[in-house]
Structure 1
Amino acid sequence: MSERFDDGMKTRRSVLGDAHVDRAEANKTAFDEPFQTFITEGAWGSVWSRDNITKRERSMITLALLAALGQWDEVAMHTRATANTGATPDDVREAMMHVAVYAGVPAANHALKIIKQTYKEMGVEI
């Protein structure tokens, strides 16, 4: 694998946690291996590994984009990742306020429902 892949895997593990990445790797098949390599190198090795902004800030941006796009499973996954990125519930709430203004109240409302449930499952009081 490439250096970008190695950097991406390190960052991916730091954000999503070893358990999540281990499950994804265990479920990887020959069919989706090129896709998994692509996101590890592209998303995690290129964007998430940059040091221009913090993982906390990237976490808030990512959650806002996922909510705006209606990617509910990813909203839950990246809410769980806030335990590793330093984004607080207050940060996440503020990101959803931006979603409401710029992408629509229904998207933010549904995302908040998922975020609240995910925090509850994580044992995070909000």
Structure 2
Amino acid sequence: MTEVETYRHRLGMETRRSVLGDAHVDRAIANSTDFDEPFQALITEAAWGHVWSRPNFTKRERSIITIALLAALGQDEEVAMHVRATANTGASREDVREALLHVAIYAGVPAANHAIKIAKRVYEQMDAE
């Protein structure tokens, strides 16, 4: 690992933990194997250390964008994970609702409808906790 990669990994891990929470990241690390460790390093450095750590958007803004993109792509587990992460990013339920309305227009009503069901389920779980 080069010094830049080491820096990006540390920065990425800090950002990843601040968005997803220590429990989620600790589980991901604990469940990592030799097979997926390179993938974990990639997302920590690239997604979290490069993109999510940039100063141009707030974590709230990145959260909203990410949820919309994941919903449009039909990435159900990732939608749920990032809706849960709004507790750490500052994105409100209204923000998520507005993002999913955009998904309906620009990516299709079925994608938005499904993501709304996921968000409702996650919010119910969060309220129960």
Instruction: Tell me, in whole angstroms, the C-alpha distance in 1 between the residues paired with 2:25 and 2:80.
Output: 15
Instruction: Tell me, in whole angstroms, the C-alpha distance in 2 between the residues paired with 1:28 and 1:87.
Output: 29
The letter of the residue matching 2:38 is P
Deviation at 1:121, TM superposition (A): 0.2
Which residue of structure 1 aligns with residue 33 of structure 2? 29
**Equivalent of 1:56, from 56, 60, 80?**
60
**Superposed CA offset, 1:17-63 (max 9, x none):** 00000000000001100000000000000000001010000000000
Aligned residue pair count = 124
Instruction: Tell me, in whole angstroms, the C-alpha distance in 1 between the residues paired with 2:52 and 2:44.
Output: 10
Is 1:79 matched with 2:83?
A: yes
Point out where structure 2 has 5 or more consecutive residues left out of the alignment: none
Which residue of structure 2 aligns with residue 92 of structure 1? 96
Instruction: Tell me, in whole angstroms, the C-alpha distance in 1 between the residues paired with 2:110 and 2:39.
Output: 31
Instruction: Tell me, in whole angstroms, the C-alpha distance in 1 between the residues paired with 2:29 and 2:73.
Output: 25
Point out where structure 1 has 5 or more consecutive residues left out of the alignment: none
Is 1:16 matched with 2:20?
A: yes
Which residue of structure 1 aligns with residue 123 of structure 2? 119
Aligned to 1:100, the other structure's residue is in SS state: helix
**Equivalent of 1:105, from 90, 99, 109?**
109
Which residue of structure 1 aligns with residue 8 of structure 2? 4
Aligned to 1:123, the other structure's residue is in SS state: helix
**TM-score, with length taken from structure 2:** 0.95
The letter of the residue matching 1:118 is V
Of 77-86 and 1-10, deviating more is 1-10
Cα-Cα RMSD: 0.9
**Superposed CA offset, 1:76-118 (max 9, x none):** 0000000000000000000001000000000000000000000
